[in-house]
A and B are shown apart, each in its own frame.
Chain A
């Protein structure tokens, strides 16, 4: 068994331990109200079990990281798979740190799913160990990416605690306009998380089924050297049944899926990039799967998801949740400044000779920084606490995720990792 294989096992074991630990946290939180139980003893016992399980998972995750590092000779953060896996590991570390300070098992119930989703998302990307291109061969890769992921993990914990706060303070009985709006938006937040799950589920489902459809697209390119129009044939391979075909394309082979044997419509002309139609197709599938999942959940539970979760979070004091959220962001912010901006600038200066180049990834890191600095100003000087601050923290995590994932998938730049879908 070589190092790579050990690291693969580490990844798998960590994933399953996290899932188990999530279930244990749920038992620890909801089981208190079960019959014939002393709530405090139950919570202590199951809290310990779940924390032990999640810590074991983290250990296994660290083993994955260490062995992959040993195998490849560089820190495993050089492509999207490695980075997302690393990020989920950092989320677990941030969670562990915050848990050790505050000892709130409820945090586990919400932080674990985030780590699990990020880890599953990582598995969507190709898992090959790739050699490092010259520009990545620098000590700054280690420092910059590690610190950036650490700070983002703390922002994730801040998001989790903020969500907890919102769920805790939601007023289900009130029919006031603000309360109704509150309910709607929390439900929407949960729905968005389910869409992400839907994306992962659909990718893996079609991958397991080995689905593949091929399109060819004729592209007219004006060749500058011969001053002549020349046509280049581009092939687009879909791993999901095509709902959207590439702009002006011909179906080469489209296996039938549930009676669907051709694309329903074509991508608009401005989506002319080779993979943009495929990405749009993936997004549509993610939405469909997510909506189906959500409706199924609603059907089974017969209540809005927020209403299902609300009783479970009764055990936390809203002020504590608010404070944890703030604390996590306050820990993360200096690390973010150092890792994602200052060290990134030092590296950029060394590799490209300019510390700042308005590359989309750089700009989005700046946007994240500006966003959280606005949060801190509002909190410190304008007295934003509780609900308002929590909403800002929830949206902040969206900004972080866009910086990490969205920029790579939608806007390409110097940081474009090799990716899929």
Chain B
């Protein structure tokens, strides 16, 4: 574009630099008119906005992104980059692991190189995101640069076109007519309208056009992609995004940290396929397959005392849902997904009675909670003071009792018992609620050392009803994603654009009659086969037999 071109067409229209076909009459401007080749019809031959004579710095950047060639390169680089990321696992697949050694240990030298190159987090790397940003830039600039000129060109089309414009289309018919040009053109309107064309005539020239909207499809796709990319970008803004996994023990109201919501797992269950639900062949393999994971969940919102940890919060039920895989609980943008579960039962409380082993007398039934237990119990003549508890009892190297974790795997309670026949300051007594622990840790032997109560008193849980256990825990993924509607909106727009541009075609037929010779040219964005068939059927309705194949203009 270094030369200053003469962009004025013979019809008198002044075209912009870069115009391929005269904006007014359609005469090809690229050569001296001796070429017979097919016309370049993209964007109807108009100049892109950015094409200008002396591009400066900004123009150059603009031109770079407005080039489809660049866009295709960007797509290809992104594609190759995405491929590289699938060679080995990505770091984001793991929660707790050390990437510095993982890749080397698992894949050896190659793995280490992979990690060192940063390919273990390809999709979060600066160059991959940069590629996506550049694709975004290309989407915006390409569209801006083409859609406006195209819109202008299509909204003010001249009906009589230059002869070369017609004869150098891909579908062409030329032949003599017996009747007067204007009459023929008038007669041609009806069959074309019947085929859904909007028909414009001017003297003995005609333009028939349909489904122009399909031309906007690509730009709508691009707009949709931009909306999608922006939504994804802003998803990460603070406050718009929340993604955590928590355990919800059955029967407990557990706070969802960072919110004023509490979730209670009323009941968790796993259902397996029964044998008669399986096919014969599969039954033989002896495999057991889960059918359903379900957490009956109730969501509470805190209404008072929410911010004061010293008081009990006031809760109000706001939502109730049986969470299943594929069916999360939803409340005001918050979603709770079934993620995992643990079927290990855990003690919540026991209700033992105090038994005097000598007389056989029983005192009370008292509730001993694993967490935040009551500290003193009065049972008949006896007083039990809870001195210490060890939820996961063990002895350390010095022989002192400790708890190995905060889970009640092997709970033990240390009491000081006061009452008749006991020293005034009381005697120490240790109690293991689980029978298995009593034997494992030798409760009696410990008590003998502590205060010798093992033959006098006993704590006894009399029936299973007095044991309260958390049967299971459900692991839920709590998410808030305020940008999701925009993600879906973007994708919806993309789909609309795709359907517009691929399932409809912009078809145009031009014709002119000069001294008894009909010249017809037709253009479509895709499906030339259908275009030829339509032209052939139109001509035959007008009494001209033209084989579909004969309409094809070889060009070369």
Contacts and interface: CB of A to CB of B under 8 A. Distances in A.
Q: Do chains A and B touch in the complex (CB under 8 A)?
A: yes
Interface of A: 4, 71-72, 101-102, 127-135, 137-138, 140, 269-270, 317, 319-320, 323, 326-327, 330-331, 333-334, 337-338, 341-342, 345-347, 349-355, 357-358, 360, 363-364, 366-367, 370-371, 373-374, 377-378, 380-383, 407, 411
A366 B529 CA distance: 31
Interface of B: 40, 42, 68-69, 71-72, 75-76, 78-79, 82-83, 85-87, 90, 92, 107-108, 110-111, 123, 218, 243, 273, 277-282, 285, 289-293, 324-328, 335, 337, 477, 479, 484, 487-488, 491, 494-495, 498-499, 502-503, 526-529, 549, 552
Contacts of B83: 363, 367
B335 A353 contact: yes
Contacts of B499: 334
A323 B289 contact: no
Nearest to B495: A338
A131 B495 contact: no
Contact of A350 (B42, B87, B292, B328): B328
A130 B273 CA distance: 10
Contact of B82 (A333, A370, A373, A411): A370
A382 B281 contact: no
7 contacts: A102-B529, A130-B279, A327-B529, A334-B503, A370-B76, A370-B78, A380-B218
Contacts of A347: 326
Contact of A363 (B85, B281, B282, B487): B85
Q: Tell which of A102, A137, A347, A360 has the most Cβ of chain B within 10 Å.
A: A360
B82 A134 contact: no
B79 A270 contact: no
Nearest to B218: A380
Given A128-B279, A135-B325, A358-B92, A374 B502 contact: no
Given A4-B280, A270-B107, A355-B484, 8 more contacts: A130-B282, A134-B326, A138-B326, A317-B549, A319-B552, A323-B527, A349-B484, A378-B72
Contacts of B526: 326-327, 330
Given A377-B72, A378-B72, A358 B278 contact: no
Nearest to B327: A350
Given A134-B325, A364-B86, A382 B69 contact: yes
Contacts of B327: 350
A134 B479 contact: no
Nearest to B289: A131
A381 B75 CA distance: 14
Nearest to B335: A353
Contact of B325 (A137, A333, A354): A137
B68 A355 contact: no
A127 B281 contact: yes
B404 to A, nearest CB: 14
B362 to A, nearest CB: 43
A395 B491 CA distance: 27
**Main DSSP-derived SS at the B contact region:** helix
A363 B491 contact: no
Q: Tell which of A330, A331, A334, A367 has the most Cβ of chain B within 10 Å.
A: A334
Given A358-B123, A363-B86, A380-B42, A131 B277 contact: yes
B149 to A, nearest CB: 14
Contacts of A128: 279, 281-282, 285
Q: Tell which of B108, B279, B327, B552 has the most Cβ of chain A within 10 Å.
A: B279
Contacts of B529: 101-102, 320, 323, 327
Q: Which 9 A-B pairs have the closest CB atoms?
A: A129-B279, A334-B498, A128-B281, A381-B68, A138-B326, A134-B325, A353-B337, A131-B273, A360-B86
A270 B82 contact: no
A72 B72 CA distance: 45
Contacts of B291: 131-132, 134, 137
Given A131-B289, A327-B526, A330-B526, A342 B491 contact: yes
A326 B325 CA distance: 40
Q: Tell which of A135, A342, A350, A358 has the most Cβ of chain B within 10 Å.
A: A358
B101 to A, nearest CB: 12
A358 B243 CA distance: 17
B502 A367 contact: no
A382 B286 CA distance: 58
B46 to A, nearest CB: 14
A78 to B, nearest CB: 11
Contacts of B123: 358
A131 B278 contact: yes
Q: Tell which of A102, A135, A331, A407 has the most Cβ of chain B within 10 Å.
A: A135
Contacts of A354: 243, 479
A172 to B, nearest CB: 21
B86 A352 contact: no
B337 A352 contact: yes
B147 to A, nearest CB: 13
Q: Tell which of A72, A353, A354, A374 has the most Cβ of chain B within 10 Å.
A: A353
A71 B277 CA distance: 10
A393 to B, nearest CB: 15
A132 B487 CA distance: 29
B243 to A, nearest CB: 8
Contact of A334 (B292, B326, B495): B495
A140 B110 CA distance: 38
A337 B490 CA distance: 13
Contacts of B76: 370, 374
Contacts of B72: 374, 377-378, 382
B328 A377 contact: no
A347 B326 CA distance: 8
A345 B552 CA distance: 43
A127 B281 CA distance: 9
Contacts of B527: 323, 327
A358 B123 CA distance: 8
Contacts of A102: 529
A191 B337 CA distance: 48
A363 B290 CA distance: 28
Contacts of A327: 526-527, 529
Nearest to A411: B86
A270 B86 contact: no
B290 A342 contact: no
A374 B108 CA distance: 36
Nearest to A272: B106
Nearest to A331: B502
B523 to A, nearest CB: 14
Nearest to A379: B526
Contact of A133 (B78, B290, B477, B488): B290
Nearest to B142: A381
Contacts of A137: 291-292, 325-326
B502 A366 contact: no
Contacts of B280: 4
Contacts of B282: 128-131
Contact of B40 (A334, A360, A383, A411): A383
A270 B107 CA distance: 5
B275 to A, nearest CB: 11
Nearest to A134: B325
A238 to B, nearest CB: 20
Contacts of A352: 337, 477
Contacts of A4: 279-280
Given A326-B526, A342-B491, A358-B85, A351 B325 contact: yes
Contacts of A323: 527-529
Given A131-B278, A371-B79, A337 B68 contact: no
Contacts of B549: 317
Nearest to A329: B502
A150 to B, nearest CB: 14
B344 to A, nearest CB: 16
A326 B527 CA distance: 9
B75 A374 contact: yes
A377 B277 CA distance: 50
Contacts of A370: 75-76, 78-79, 82
